[in-house]
Structure 1
Amino acid sequence: MTNEHVKMSQKPNKKWYLRCLPVLVLLLLSSVIYYLFYDRLLSYTGTLESLSSIQSPCSDLLTQKNWERLNINISRQTKLFLKMEDFFWREPTSKFALPYGTKGSELMLLKILSKTTNYQMPANIEGLQCKTCAVIGNGFTIKNSSLGSTINNYDVVIRMNGAPVRGYEDDVGNKTTMTLFYPESASHDTVQQMEPSALVVLVPFKQQDLRWLKEILYNEKRNMKGFWKPPPQIWSADDSNIRVLDPHFLQQTADRLLHIPLDFTKQESVHPTMGILAVFVALNYCDVVHVAGFGYPQSNNPNDPIHYYEDVHTMKSMKNSHHDLKREAATLKRLKDSGAILYLHPHL
């Protein structure tokens, strides 16, 4: 074959590569754009489909950078609950008293923890390489959402303040991994509202909260002094399901996440709501954090209800609360915009 024939046979190959080059470039650019913006697109869809419809919620795209996105300069802590070892074989390290530390409460906590004895999350959850979590607030926004079956698909479902489940399953689901509460937010049927395996996690704000739990555990005479609202005197929970949240999480929520003063003794002081605390707990423990039931009505009507399960508490009742709702709303928006959390429904 002559050189001229060889050159002629090579020309079509060169043209074939040139014709394919734009297609290859387009495919490459499409892949990069999909990889970079897929989680951002999810956060702006307003309504997420059920968890099972998300092909890989634990992919690197959705999980690995959640904590880094917070940019709050603290280490992630996945051990959520106080344990006996915290008060025995090492010097107490807490420099804060309740609600931001254990200083001055060590003896009371020893009595409580010696009775409860279990300080871990359930073993079937602890063993998961990736944990998907839903934090379910008590806000009116979740009413008529039909999110129940979606919520039940998460590995961990966190609730708070004794919010009822029975009768509201279509909207809030019926799965509960743990519920955060303090004595005044508990009700006598809090435990009956949940599955037998659900953890009931005390968030102690004051010495009286620990005293209340100790009296429940040891069946002692109840002392109702020091509460702004009488807590239940009869409250049945399996000792093995009771936990005490490490005050570290409330302290870090206030200091690093919300940037509010830690001087809890002042009458005008503010502290985090249980909802924003639950979100911060989830961000520490979980790999994927989705939320629902957050947000307050934006209308000027003071009679707008704030809970999905009753209309007694309205926006008017929130005026005198020790919470900075605007600050928390801005923080939740920052978390959403960064991709650290995703909303399960349109929110206010």
Structure 2
Amino acid sequence: TQRPLPPLQWATPPPSLVGPPAPLLAGLPGSSSSPALRVLLCQRCPGGIRKRIASTKFSNVFLEAIPVLQWARHARLPCARHVGRPRLTLRPWLVVPVVRDALTRLNTSANGCMFDARPGAAAGVSPCVRCAVVGNGGILNGSRAGAAIDRHDYVFRVNGALTKGFERDVGHRTSFYVFSTNTMMNSLHNYASDGFRQPPQTLYIFLPDHDRDYLLLRAALTHRPVDRGPDEGARPERYFGKDLRAEKFKMFHPDFIRYVRNRFLRSGILDPPQRRLYRPSTGAVMLFAALHTCDEVSAYGFITPDYQAYSDHYFDLTHKALVFYANHDLQLEMSLWQELHQSRLLTLHMRR
């Protein structure tokens, strides 16, 4: 029997911890300069997430105008602070040109908004955008959730996103593949024997965790191998296929990642000396991106209180216990998913 989780305590941090610079807000949800973008970001749905937030404990935590994505308009010197992480392998005066060069190439309308055109929207279907966000948890093994996942307008997947052979449980559609270069490379190495040898051929959302994310993005957009760093010589078509148009790529804004960390997942790991290690999991950032851009969100394969009953991943051939790594706080994330589910801001897939 699972003991009930204690309620989370929400403390609003100082605005300096979460607020993006004012110039970054133009044309983003909540601004007045881009009506078309507001439509794309689901402002017409009568019962969407944004309408429900006000009546929940999260009403003072969500920021509607936080920038979710970064693109060419952000390619200017202040972005140096966005990549100033302790783990960077390049000196700042080398990192900044790489960041600016990579972002400058994200110069299409598709790079600045999550959704271009929803499948079936022209046919007069519901104005609400429904998203399935699919983690890799073992709770999906035997779930037969695949058909329900595929019925959503958009499907987000992450890291070792295996679908072949698991369609009955996890579906086959992938609208967005979310990753950092580090998590993608680790997934390709660790799950190759399970059949994960290439990310899904779809649209890609980088989580900028390191300079190597900007280096790989630049390599993809210039159709050249990575020119430095731990991935030097890597050919982007190995991961993303031969079609390397800019429209296929997006990148999360570092302010959005900090906002998720500071307002929703402010863990004790942030206390020294672990502070340098911690960030929300890639799946957590993916889920919050959906919560800020979709009208209805269903989360599958995320950690639940009965996680010990399931293997680490749905594609594991033998049972493997979930591993809690020092750089994420999965217990805090588990509590948060329960709170969001109970607040009806998302629908969390559970088996018990």
Separation in structure 1 between the aligned mates of residue 85 and residue 54 of structure 2, nearest angstrom: 24
Q: Does 1:290 align with 2:290?
A: no
Aligned in 2, Cα 1:122/1:342: closer, same or farther, shift over 3 Å? closer
Unaligned residue ranges in structure 1 (runs of 5+): 1-57
Q: CA deviation at 1:338?
A: 1.2
Partner of 1:37: none
Separation in structure 2 between the aligned mates of residue 300 and residue 293 of structure 1, nearest angstrom: 13
Q: CA deviation at 1:253?
A: 1.3
Partner of 1:97: 83
Q: CA deviation at 1:92?
A: 3.0
Separation in structure 1 between the aligned mates of residue 305 and residue 311 of structure 2, nearest angstrom: 8
Aligned match for 1:332, one of 333, 337, 340: 337
Separation in structure 1 between the aligned mates of residue 167 and residue 66 of structure 2, nearest angstrom: 29
Partner of 1:274: 282
Separation in structure 2 between the aligned mates of residue 242 and residue 141 of structure 1, nearest angstrom: 30
Q: Structure 1 vs Structure 2: percent identity of aligned residues?
A: 21
Kindly report which structure 2 residues correspond to 1:177-216, keeping only aligned pairs within 5 A, or say none.
Answer: 177-186=175-184, 187=188, 189-191=197-199, 193-194=200-201, 198-216=202-220
Separation in structure 1 between the aligned mates of residue 151 and residue 66 of structure 2, nearest angstrom: 22
Aligned in 2, Cα 1:293/1:319: closer, same or farther, shift over 3 Å? closer
1:44-66 superposed Cα distances (whole Å, 9 cap, x missing partner):
xxxxxxxxxxxxxx653876214
1:282-332 superposed Cα distances (whole Å, 9 cap, x missing partner):
11111111111111685779xx6311113589436x244411111111111
Aligned in 2, Cα 1:179/1:78: closer, same or farther, shift over 3 Å? farther
Separation in structure 1 between the aligned mates of residue 266 and residue 102 of structure 2, nearest angstrom: 31
8 Å Cα contact 2:106/2:250 also seen in 1: yes
Separation in structure 2 between the aligned mates of residue 262 and residue 72 of structure 1, nearest angstrom: 23
TM-score computed with the length of structure 1 as normaliser: 0.67
Partner of 2:163: 165
TM-score computed with the length of structure 2 as normaliser: 0.66
Which of these two proteins has the greater Rg computed from alpha carbons?
1
Q: How many residues are treated as equivalent by the alignment? A: 278
Q: Does 1:142 align with 2:130?
A: no
Q: Which amino acid is 2:99 matched to?
A: L
Partner of 1:236: 240
Q: Which amino acid is 2:251 matched to?
A: V
Q: Does 1:76 align with 2:82?
A: no
Partner of 1:220: 225
Aligned match for 1:156, one of 145, 154, 157: 154
3-state DSSP class of the match of 1:108? helix
Q: Which amino acid is 2:75 matched to?
A: F
Q: Which amino acid is 1:121 matched to?
A: M
> What is the Cα-based RMSD across aligned positions, in Å?
3.8
Partner of 1:310: 316
